[in-house]
Every structure is written in structure tokens, then in C-alpha cells.
Amino acid sequence: MTITLDLSAFEQLMYLPAGEVLYRLFFWYFGWLPMAIVALNGILHIWLHHRRHHWGAKQKYVLLAIDIPRNNAQSPRAVENMFIYFAGAHATLTLIEKWWEGKFQLGFSFEIVSIDGFIQFLIHTPVAFKHLVETAVYSQYPDAEIYEVEDYVGVAPDKYPDPEYDIWGSEFIQVSDPILPIRTYPEFEHQFGEPEKQYKDPMASLMDLMSSLQKGEQLWYQIILVPIGQEWTEGRDKFVGKILGEKPKATAANNFVDKIISWIGDVSEQIYQLWGDIIDKEKKADDMFKMFNLKPKEKLQIEAAEKKVAKLGFDVTIRGVYVSRKEVMNKPKVVNGFVGYIKQFNTGDLNALKPDTKITMTSAAYLLVDKRLNEKKRKIIRAYKERSDILGRKPWVMNVEELATLWHFPIDAVVKAPLVQRAGARRIEPPMSLPFDTGQPRMAANKEPIFDENYEIYDPAEEKISESEPAEKQASAKAVPDFMKEEAEIETSQRGKPPANLPFAD
């Protein structure tokens, strides 16, 4: 059997003018190919989104409130160890699981909320990882208390404008290459003063801001964490290679183009053969001294990138939302204060965080301002309520040291926030298994309100007093100065009990 190929059409094509040949090749014969690739890619994404939505709707989540222990002296290193433990939730998915079953990597949401000035630390987690969260927290904070609570986000309307409430919201994005770190907690330490106060906790400004909110105001702070593998560390090689002027490695996508360029180079090789040795020697000399000629900023960036990839990383999305009744809303104070808290971690030579003013931030100018502004409000509140890592900006990578800097329990020796929910005094030592608190299990069987009505306001004057001290000295040590009593009375009259309209479990 003989197969005959008819190439007469291509032979005729060669006799046409050059312009006609290009037109037929790129618009007639193969012009449909790019459009087909784009259409196929779109269909695949629609299918994947459909399957992910179908599988994701079946997943169950729980919101856990963390009451930090009194007199907490743990540095953010303890929270960093917690985040390392959360990396155990990472799973490798097969093609069938991803494209047919719609499975995706489940993540966590670490949140700090202030409702009418009362502050609570929260972790939103899949039910499957609830015990992982408990173990991680108790391993670093044995005296902490964890309770399952109802979600607090229902107070915020889904559509805007709303007759009673208004919001401000934004995601926060990185300014430079994600392989570069932000300013982390070791850089907030200094060698002056008492040892317990040598760490200047950046959380102090956020706790002070959240404690100052009035009735009808709420500030929500959310960090979405999605466990990932080690593929992100390849960005370090690309970043360092770019600084050193190295040629990027060839990939399968550009191998064909590389071969064509290679063929053209072979033709001209003979012409430059006499100069080849000189060029090679000069190039080797340049490469040898490249590292020695780096600018101080470039050296710092290379060292920082190497240090960042040495620790585990997560895909991260950061959001802040200010929800308030219109009559008490104070954007200049709360919004500017929250952005100021975030900017504490910025550096001029490495990386920085800023509000995403272009896409997710609730601001608009020029055309159709009201319509676009209300649409942005609707999108940011939906993304926050769903704890979504898909809606809004694409996540980027931060390592556990950066995350522990942004979200950690305040240190009592530095942060005096009286309205932070804290664990009660412990009467007995808990067993090694899930501990019990005064005869009650740490994890409540039923959901609790976010804030306990019998909350305890932290008293800065409270100190441990040795029983061996004379009675007069004990009495004087326990005495609270008059100015502290007055401040406590004012604080109590202003705040009263936690908000009565907080959601309760059935």
C-alpha cells in the first residue's frame, strides 16, 4: 500500500508574493489555532471551577475561639511552631481527584475581631482538621482555652448601599517579589531595658485600636493560610539568577524556538570563529567578579531570599474589614490605624505590604463611582465571609516567621489590652491528653457566644505576691493606685458587658 502526499498547494504557495504567503499562513491556515487554545483553556477552567464548587459545598467548617492564657510571656516563636504543625494538612492530589472529583487543598483562616471594643482571636478550620488545630495550640499554650462559637460575620449586609451599615475593606498585597520577606519579629527586639520588655510587640498598636472601638463598630482581620509544597522555593533561584544576570533555564515551551535560534547561530558561527576565544575569556572574567561587584542592596536581598526559603511557606491572603453603623462610623481613625499597623512590617530594601487600591479596596474614582464602590463592597464582604482564597487577588507565599509576625497572641509584659478575651485562672494541672478546666472539658460540647458574659478584664496591677512576705508588705503590694481605680471605673462605665446581640448557638 502506497501513501501519496499531495504537496501541490504548498508549491503554489511558494510562487505567491511574500505578503500573501504570510497572510495565508498566519490568518488562513493556522489563524484558528490561538483562538482554539484560548477557548479550550477557558472550558477547562469553567469545568474545574464547577467541580471545585460541587466538592467544596460538601465540606464542613468550624469556628474556634482561642482565649489566651493570662500573663502570656510566649514570643511569636511559639505561634511560628504552631504554623509549622499546620503544614501537616498538606495533601498531594491525583489528576482524577483534581479534575473529576474537584478536590482542592483546604486551608485555615486566622482571625482577630473586635466587636464593640471586645477582642477575640479565632481560627476557622475544616472539621477534619479541628483536632490538628487543638493539638497545635495546646502544644505551645497548655493553659489556653478553645471553644466552638457561632460565626460573627452575619451582622454585615451582603448588598450595598445598606440603610444601617457601611463598610470599608481591602486585601493587602506585597510590593516586591514574594520571595523577599517583610520585616519580621526578630527585628522588633532590642537590647535595652528589662529582659521581658526588650521585645516591642507590634501587636500593641492593633490591640489598642481594637479596644478603642465604640458600640456599633467592628474591625475584622483575616489571614487565609493554604498549605503548599516546596515548589515555591524555585522562585529563589529565578530571583537570584536575575540579579546575577544568569540566563534562565530552557523549558519545554521554548525548546522549539531555542533550536531555531541555535540553527541560525550555527550558520554565523564560522564568521565569528576568530573572535570566539576572546569573547569566552571576557565572559568568564565577568562571571568571576559578578558576585564581588554586587550592590549592598542586592547582597541583602539574596541573603534574605535564602533565609526565607529555609522555612516552610503557605499561600496567603490578607484582608481587613471595618463594619460599622453609619451614625458611629469613624473611617479616619479605624482605617488609617489598621493600615498603620500593617505598615509596621514594611522595609524599603526588601518587601512591604500595602492596601490593594486597584482591585479589592472599597474605593472608586472618576466614572460610575457609586456603582463601582458598592460592587467592591459586595465582593470584599463575600470573600471575607467565605474565607476564600480564590475570590479577590491571587495568593502569594509567606513563610511561618512572617505569618507569626502578623498574627500572634500579644505579650502581656508589653501589650496592656484590657478587653482581650483571656483564659481564666487554672486551679489544677491538666492531664497530658485534652485538658480539663475546673472539671469541664476544654472543648465545649455546644457552641458558645463569641464573648463570655463573665469575662475578666486584665488588671495591670495584678502581681504574684510571695506568702512569705510580711502582711503589711502584702497589703501594700495588693493595693491598687487610685488613678488605676478611676480608669477601671471609667472603662467599665463606657464598655459595660460584652454586646448582647452577639450570636448564640441553638
Partnered with residue 165 across adjacent β-strands are: 325
Each residue's pLDDT tens digit, 114-127 = 999 899 999 999 99
Confidence category of residue 464, pLDDT binned at 50, 70, 90? very low
Q: Which of 415, 410, 419, 411 is nearest to 491 (CA)?
A: 419
Q: Which of 110, 88, 111, 91 is nearest to 101 (CA)?
A: 91
Give the pLDDT of residue 426: 38
Average pLDDT value over all residues in the chain: 77
Chain centroid to CA 475: how far? 48
Are 441 and 475 within one domain?
A: no
202-216, 302-316, 424-438: least confidently modelled range: 424-438
Mean pLDDT of 370-382: 94
Predicted model pTM: 0.74
Give the pLDDT of residue 271: 43
Mean pLDDT of 159-181: 93
Confidence category of residue 34, pLDDT binned at 50, 70, 90? confident
Are 444 and 475 within one domain?
A: no
Confidence category of residue 213, pLDDT binned at 50, 70, 90? very high
Which of the pair, 54 or 14, is modelled with greater confidence?
54
Rounded (10°) CA dihedral 64, 322, 71, 413: 150
Give the three cell numbers for residue 227. Answer: 498549605
Q: Which of 92, 80, 128 is nearest to 108 (CA)?
A: 128
Q: What percent of the chain has pLDDT over 90?
A: 41
Are 318 and 441 within one domain?
A: yes
Are 88 and 132 within one domain?
A: yes
Are 183 and 310 within one domain?
A: yes
Q: Is residue 300 part of a domain?
A: no
Number of domains in the chain: 3
Q: How far apart are CA 497 and CA 84, in angstroms?
A: 37
67-76, 253-262, 378-387, 480-489: least confidently modelled range: 480-489
Are 54 and 79 within one domain?
A: no
Give the pLDDT of residue 462: 46
Each residue's pLDDT tens digit, 231-254 = 999 888 888 888 877 766 655 445
Mean pLDDT of 471-490: 47
As a whole number of Å, the CA-based R_g of the chain is 30
Give the pLDDT of residue 433: 39
Q: Is residue 287 part of a domain?
A: no
Are 440 and 478 within one domain?
A: no
Are 36 and 102 within one domain?
A: no
Give the pLDDT of residue 502: 53
Are 373 and 384 within one domain?
A: yes
Q: What domain range includes position 31?
A: 22-58
Confidence category of residue 22, pLDDT binned at 50, 70, 90? low
Give the pLDDT of residue 429: 42
Are 118 and 191 within one domain?
A: yes
Mean pLDDT of 438-464: 48
Contacts of 222 (CB under 8 A, 6+ apart): 109, 110, 111, 317, 318, 319, 320, 321, 384, 387
136-145, 346-355, 445-454, 476-485: least confidently modelled range: 476-485
* Cβ atoms within 10 Å of 308's Cβ, excluding its own: 26
Which of the pair, 466 or 88, is modelled with greater confidence?
88
Q: Is residue 166 part of a domain?
A: yes
Give the pLDDT of residue 9: 63
- Cα end-to-end span (Å), the chain: 80
* Greatest mean pLDDT range, 69-78, 168-177, 242-251: 168-177
Q: Is residue 493 part of a domain?
A: yes
